[in-house]
Structure 1
Amino acid sequence: MRPERSSAQLCLVACLLFVVFEFQQHNWEMGLIHLQSGIELIKEVSPASKKSSTSSRRPLEPLKEAFERLDIQTCLYTSRQIQLVPATEHAIMPQLPALSPFSNVQEACQLLEILVAAMQELTRAVKEHMFPSEGVSADVHANLQVQLTRQLLSLARWQQSMDTLWLTLSSDQDRKAAKALQVQRLSCKLVVSNSLSNGHESLWDSFHEDFTQLLCRAGDFVAMGSTVDKDTPASTLDVGVIPALYLTAMKCRDPFLRRHVATLLRKCKSQEGPWYGPQQAQLAEQCQKAADCIKLGMTYAKIHEPYIASGDALRGMVDGLSL
């Protein structure tokens, strides 16, 4: 039997509070349990919500979006027990076979959507084996590594075809869409490359070039026009720029790039699903402010901010709840 709406709201709030408490205490496994409970509750109440009017569904929307952000970020900000060195795109590029160029931007979009879906499946697999009771077997390691390598191969081949297509694009709309797709591709590559790592922050530093490319292409996209609104379907070409910029803000420790990210996020006035540019910009700015304080020798207690510079420390915070 589905819970009543008011009861569901109370349960979701309780789940979120428990997630925050457990993550702050570094009790990752219990935090994930509460997170999964909230997601399952949302699935229970969603069918009933669809039959109601738009106004009656509003009270649940902020809670639903908070859980969506948490579910997306869990694989980025929690500790790993899978100790693997991720493969890099450059290391496997010589093995790539030739791929026919895309005939149009829509074809490129459709293939990238498939790759992003595969990435989500991979991160779910990582989450399932994040806290093994008796360790992760060698077979599981090998299987996840194979999936990782296949994803990186596919993403590299996709970019080769996009480079060829880019030379043929003439309309501003197609070029803007292609920029957004390239931003998503870089974001996907960064997540996949690090999803099977031990989570150490230095691993992200080796992808400085990718962060720079992502920022340049996102800047071109933002200059071409605003991002999509909240009600735009997720299958449109423009979705994915704000989350990619947010990933850069949280994981790239170059202060120049991080400040530039915050500037771009403030220009993204619309909302992509649960992501809203100006709010993500506040997190990026607080993160860099804390980093500046740490460089000056200040302790965390003196910063007086709920955000810290290192992604290692960010694993203990649920920053999505403050949006």
Structure 2
Amino acid sequence: MDKASVRVALIACFLFVSLELLSGHFTTAQIHIQNGLSILRGFGTSVEDDGQVLLFDIVPGSIDDAIVRAFCRLNLQLELFRHSYQHPCLALQIAEPETSTSVFRSVNEAWKQIERLFNRIFHLTDLWRRQQQTLPHPPVELPPKLLTCQHQIQAELSACLVVLRASKTSMPDQDPKGLVYGLLSVYHTMASIMADTCLRLDDESVFDSHTKQFVSILTESIAMWKTGQSELHHRYLRWPCIHMSRSIVDIGWIAPLYYTALKCRIRRVRLQAVRLIETTSHREGLWDSNIVSCVARKVMEIEEGGFYGHHHSAAEKFLLSSPPRSGDMSVPALPRLSRIHEFRVVLSDRLADTFLLFYRQAQGRWKEAQVSTRGKFYNSGY
């Protein structure tokens, strides 16, 4: 196809994705995303031996720039949604001029940097997963090349955080309530946790050392929730009551809260993350608040069982507007064998009150569980 035809095909593909997502047709939406990525493969330059990183050299502000960045955002959503299990991964990168800056000139510039680092993390995680498959037993030491890559990503994340904090009040396109800065912060924190843990895929206890960062995501999300309360109408919402007028194809706060609920094993923290998701009655692209909150609760149920005993009820009693305190962290650690290492949610194109969750604990086999949304209701506070 010539360039004009490719543009038309990609724009049509993006429109189809948007319509399918807003309709709740998640399977078809993912197929359209993959079709768009397949078209893009022919126009990007492979910059890694495995062919899983594509670099695009395009004119900033052009129509091609807008199209590629739209698919970068869709691909980021897809990779975040599938990050919990091994899958074919494609990372998209846009060539940016090498510049050193003390502040971000815009929210968009800050997001470009964070998005680029997410793609590097996805690719590194995929590399290590594929290498592990070829090894007869777990290695004593990690491959030096992968460690070097991890250290580079961590250094760039640290530098990005310094610039982001310096830009808190100087980005001209930021909203007056600071919600966009809050979103940038929680995504940066999530990326930092992913970068620190991406070479420890066989050890879920590694997340225990990141409790402070999970609490940071939660605290920032609480601040955003409180800021936006004046714009929300409080009422109980019954499945499948989703307010499509507030749904978006872009990303929002659901993904970081979902990640917190899944990977932080402090019951108070993960439960509060779930409850915050449950105050959201819309979709953010692939992220349906009703579905992901039910998945997170099912994961908690599988992992925790009756492990916490009387601590269980104590952790339930808190105000949604209050961040966790140090006393909330003083609970026994979940046993390693109870923790889910990989899981995959099977979404469909039809509205249903049950769907499948496949999961694997430690070195065990894959198991299947049904996740139900039947009778679920949502409250804006507790």
**Range class of TM-score, shorter chain:** 0.5 to 0.7
Write the letter of the residue equivalent to 2:158.
Answer: A
Aligned residue for 2:330?
Answer: none
- Give the structure 2 partner of residue 61 of structure 1: 25
* Aligned CA distance change for structure 1 residues 315 and 71 (closer, same or farther; 3 Å): farther
**Out of 328, 336, 341, which is 1:315 matched to?**
341
- In the alignment, structure 1 residue 296 sits paired with structure 2 residue 309: yes
Match of 1:281 in 2: 293
Q: Is the Cα contact below 8 Å between 2:84 and 2:343 reproduced in 1? A: no
Contact 2:204 2:336 in 1 (8 A): yes
Cα distance change of structure 1 residues 244 and 310 upon mapping to structure 2, 3 Å threshold: farther
| 1:51 to 1:99, Cα distance in 2 relative to 1, 3 A | closer
1:217 corresponding residue in structure 2: 220
177-186 vs 223-232, which moves further: 223-232
Alpha-carbon deviations, 1:120-147, whole Å to 9, x = none? 2222222332301557999981111111
The equivalent position to 2:256 in structure 1, one of 237, 244, 267, is: 244
The 5-angstrom pairing of residues 1-323 of structure 1 reads 50=13, 61-64=25-28, 72=80, 75-77=83-85, 100-133=102-135, 141-168=143-170, 172-173=175-176, 175-225=178-228, 231-232=248-249, 234=250, 239-290=251-302, 291=304, 293-296=306-309, 313-315=339-341, 317-321=343-347, 322=355
Residue 109 of structure 1: how far off its partner (Å): 1.7
Total equivalences in the alignment: 243
- Which consecutive unaligned segments of at least 5 residues does structure 2 have? 1-8, 32-74, 87-99, 233-242, 311-333, 348-354, 356-370, 372-382
Deviation of 1:153 after TM superposition, in Å, equals 0.9
Call closer, same or farther: CA 1:55–1:144 in 2, change over 3 Å: closer
Aligned-pair CA distance for 1:231: 4.7
Q: In structure 1, what is the Cα distance between the partners aligned to 2:337 and 2:261?
A: 10
Identity of aligned residues (%): 17
Q: 1:248 to 1:53 in 2, by over 3 A?
A: closer
Structure 1 portions without partners, runs of 5+: 1-45, 79-97, 298-307
Relative contact order, higher structure (CA 8 A, sep 6+): 1
Conservation of the 8 A alpha-carbon contact between 1:75 and 1:127: no
Please report the RMSD computed on the Cα atoms of aligned residues, expressed in angstroms.
4.2
TM-score, structure 2 as length reference: 0.52
Determine the C-alpha separation between the residues in 1 that align with 2:14 and 2:170.
46
Does 250-259 or 69-78 show the bigger shift?
69-78
Q: What does the per-residue CA deviation read over 1:46-92, in whole Å, with 9 as the maximum and x for residues that have no partner?
A: 98x949989997899332467898864655356xxxxxxxxxxxxxx
d(CA) in 2 for partners of 1:269 and 1:55?
18
Change (3 A) 1:204 1:320: farther
Structure 1 SS opposite 2:178: helix
Q: Give the AA of the match of 1:188.
A: A
AA of the residue aligned to 1:247: Y
What per-residue deviation string (whole Å, max 9, x for no partner) do you get for residues 222-259 of structure 1? Answer: 33448995553x4xxxx242111111101101111111
More helix per residue: 1
TM-score (norm 1): 0.61
In terms of fraction of residues, the more strand-rich structure is 2
